[in-house]
């Protein structure tokens, strides 16, 4: 196959990270596996009060290998209960990525309200689509005896990552499946999850084509919260040449006619869900309550994923994010907000307003920590003389991750060049054009033990990055260069597990 799955786990973590061990380096509010290697989120589905999170899992190693589906559940998307492995390799091959649905009307005949997992199996160059089901809230799993339900068509190399949803009336609709096929998305439909008919193709000549396309998703979102104005979002992960180097998630805005995706924008339009180095294979939950569309992604990158520091486990998920669509001058733009549930982790916060940041670096003496939420609003108006300004997080004697705004270039940047142990492929700062809104730049940062997620401009621009600072690098600083900037508002909360 064309996928260069890395197998080099030889690089060791820095001495300090290794010495600190799991306790100091395991993320506080990001999902990690109990042990071993994790990649894509799989089978995200909500049922009977539980968010299910399955994931690509190699339980015997710190690097990718024959894949299984690991499994965890959560009632609040914050604390996760690890469950036994759900799916293991068999004669049809290892278990690759896929999705899960609730078969509300028992179309497949597996039982009332069965959870049905639809996934790729890979062996001997063949990628085929298979089913498994559970009728006990995901606690035990049975593979369908008729697997595979879709064999690999002749002439294909990549044919994987089924994402399934119900389309149409609850009783008169049908199942729809998306598959990533080379650099296209193919569509299939089915009355019963077992027999599938190809209904369409999308992709030739569209979007970013820097790498093989993987793990698609498709859902409708209201534009500007207007339920009468729905647009369909086609999500496609691209394995290489995303803006920060390596893997990334692009999206297309358009329509879905029940058979295929109808693009609403020109083929050369490329939209990225995230401009950081570590947001891949994003998937949204099926059947999330209250019409909510919430997703998360593997917080890593195929370029260097096997080389990030690891002790007993390797890999984490991004924080879950609520999705919305807002109109702007260029059409409709995806907006991501960290889930509101995170506020439950806030400790006692500090608040500043109308402070002036002088040239240089200013440490916030009372606000340090390896797990922080930071919300900052800076003025960008006639009083702003600083060329660049922003925040430095996870700062130590010789370390800092810089999140700043370049007022001359009108661009947001994240620089992890001095973030700590170097495991990631590219250290060039990530730079994203960003115009101030109402003469302000707003930043919402989530800092964990090995990552920083930046939500700028209300979540219109997002950058997710892993960082590997020494556990002792916990300072938070403001900075301005070549002038001053007014910090209109700053809120900082330590994040912690409530006991």
Smallest distance from the beta carbon of 281 to ligand FRU, in angstroms? 4
Q: Which of 8, 22, 40, 381 is catalytic?
A: 40
Strands (E), 31-105: 36-47, 50-58, 68-74, 81-87, 94-103
Burial class of residue 228, CB neighbours in 10 A (0-12, 13-18, 19+): exposed
200's enclosing H/E stretch is strand 197-202
Both structure tokens of 139: 């606690």
Q: What is the CA radius of gyration of the chain?
A: 22
Of positions 3, 83, 85, 270, contacts ligand FRU by CB under 6 A: 3
Peptide bond into 304 cis (omega under 30): no
* Owner of token pair 């033990």: 449
CB 105 within 8 A of CB 114: no
Binding mask 237-276 vs ligand FRU (x if CB under 6 A, - otherwise)? ----------------------------------------
What is the pattern of x (binds ligand FRU, CB under 6 A) and - over residues 176-215?
--------------------------------------xx
Nearer to ligand FRU (CB atom), residue 6 or residue 173: 6
Query: Does residue 74 interact with ligand FRU by CB under 6 A?
Result: no
Residue 40: active-site member: yes
**CB of residue 98 to ligand FRU, shortest distance in Å:** 8
Site for ligand FRU in 150-169 (CB under 6 A): 160-161
Nearer to ligand FRU, 149 or 495 (CB): 149
Residue 143 or residue 160: which is nearer to ligand FRU going by CB?
160
Q: How far is the CB of 43 from ligand FRU (least distance, A)?
A: 12
380 alpha carbon, distance to own chain's centre: 30
Mask of contacts with ligand FRU, 105-144, x by CB under 6 A?
---------------x------------------------
Shortest distance (Å) from residue 27 CB to ligand FRU: 20
Three-state secondary structure call for residue 401: strand
Q: Using an 8 Å Cβ cutoff, are 195 and 149 in contact?
A: yes
CB of 32 to ligand FRU, least distance (A): 17
In the list 44, 62, 67, 386, the residue contacting ligand FRU (rule: CB under 6 A) is 67
Interaction residues for ligand FRU, span 276-315 (CB under 6 A): 281
Interactions with ligand FRU, residue window 87-106 (CB under 6 A) = 96-97
Query: What are the C-alpha distances in Å from 32 to residues 27, 72, 181, 313, 482?
Result: 7, 10, 29, 8, 41
Q: How many residues bind ligand FRU (CB under 6 A)?
A: 13
Q: Between 56 and 401, whose beta carbon lies closer to ligand FRU?
A: 56
Q: How far is the CB of 488 from ligand FRU (least distance, A)?
A: 40
Shorter beta-carbon distance to ligand FRU: residue 183 or 371: 183
By beta-carbon proximity to ligand FRU, the closer residue of 305 and 420 is 305
- Going edge to edge, which strands form the sheet with 360-363? 360-363, 475-481, 388-395, 401-406, 411-415, 430-433
C-alpha to C-alpha distance for 311 and 19, rounded to whole angstroms: 9
Pairing between β-strand 313-314 and β-strand 36-47 as defined by DSSP bridges: parallel
3-state secondary structure (DSSP) of residue 181: strand
Element (H, E) at 132: strand 126-134
307 DSSP 8-state letter? G
**Looking at beta carbons only, is 39 or 284 nearer to ligand FRU?**
39
Task: Check whether the bond before 127 is cis (ω within 30° of 0).
Answer: no
Q: Which residues contact ligand FRU by CB under 6 A? A: 3, 39-40, 56, 67, 96-97, 120, 160-161, 214-215, 281
User: Which positions are catalytic?
Assistant: 40
């Amino acid at each position: 196959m064309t996928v260069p799955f890395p197998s080099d786990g030889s690089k060791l973590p820095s001495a300090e990270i290794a010495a600190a061990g799991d306790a100091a380096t395991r993320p506080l509010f990001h999902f990690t596996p109990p042990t071993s290697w994790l990649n894509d989120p799989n089978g995200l589905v909500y049922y009977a009060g539980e968010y299910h999170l399955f994931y690509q899992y190699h339980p015997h190693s710190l690097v990718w290998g024959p894949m299984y589906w690991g499994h965890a559940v959560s009632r609040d998307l914050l604390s996760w209960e690890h469950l036994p492995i759900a799916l293991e390799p068999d004669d049809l091959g290892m278990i690759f990525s896929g999705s899960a649905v609730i078969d509300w009307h028992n179309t497949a005949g597996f039982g009332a309200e069965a959870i049905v997992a639809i996934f790729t199996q890979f062996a001997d160059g063949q990628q085929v689509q298979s089913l498994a089901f559970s009728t006990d809230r995901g606690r035990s799993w049975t593979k369908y005896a008729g697997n595979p339900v879709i064999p690999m068509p002749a002439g294909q190399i990549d044919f994987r990552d089924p994402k399934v949803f119900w389309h149409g009336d609850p009783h008169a609709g049908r199942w729809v499946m998306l598959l990533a096929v080379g650099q296209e998305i193919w569509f299939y439909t089915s009355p019963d999850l077992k027999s599938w008919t190809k209904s369409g193709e999308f992709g030739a000549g569209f979007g970013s084509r820097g790498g093989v396309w993987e793990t698609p998703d498709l859902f409708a979102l209201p534009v500007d919260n207007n339920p009468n104005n729905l647009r369909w979002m086609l999500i496609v992960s691209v394995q290489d040449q995303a803006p920060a180097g390596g893997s990334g998630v692009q999206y297309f805005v358009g329509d879905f006619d029940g058979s295929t995706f109808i693009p609403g924008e020109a083929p050369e339009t490329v939209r990225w869900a995230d401009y950081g180095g570590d947001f891949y294979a994003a998937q949204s939950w099926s059947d999330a309550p209250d019409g909510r569309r919430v997703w998360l992604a593997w917080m890593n990158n195929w370029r260097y994923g096997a080389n990030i520091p690891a002790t007993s486990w390797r890999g984490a998920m991004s924080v879950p994010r609520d999705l919305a669509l807002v109109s702007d001058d260029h059409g409709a733009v995806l907006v991501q907000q960290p889930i509101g549930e995170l506020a439950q982790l806030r400790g006692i916060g500090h608040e500043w307003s109308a402070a002036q940041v002088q040239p240089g670096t200013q440490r916030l003496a009372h606000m340090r920590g390896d797990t922080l939420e930071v919300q900052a609003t800076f003025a960008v108006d006639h009083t702003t003389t600083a060329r660049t300004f922003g925040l430095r997080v996870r700062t130590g004697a010789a370390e800092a991750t810089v999140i700043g705004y370049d007022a001359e270039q009108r661009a947001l940047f994240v620089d992890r060049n001095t973030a700590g142990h170097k495991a990631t492929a590219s250290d060039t700062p990530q730079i994203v054009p960003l115009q101030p809104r109402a003469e302000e730049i707003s930043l919402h940062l989530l800092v964990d033990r090995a990552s920083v997620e930046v939500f700028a401009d209300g979540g219109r621009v997002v950058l997710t990055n892993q960082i590997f600072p020494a556990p002792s690098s916990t300072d938070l600083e403001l900075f301005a260069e070549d002038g001053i900037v007014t910090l209109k508002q700053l809120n900082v909360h330590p994040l912690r597990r409530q006991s």
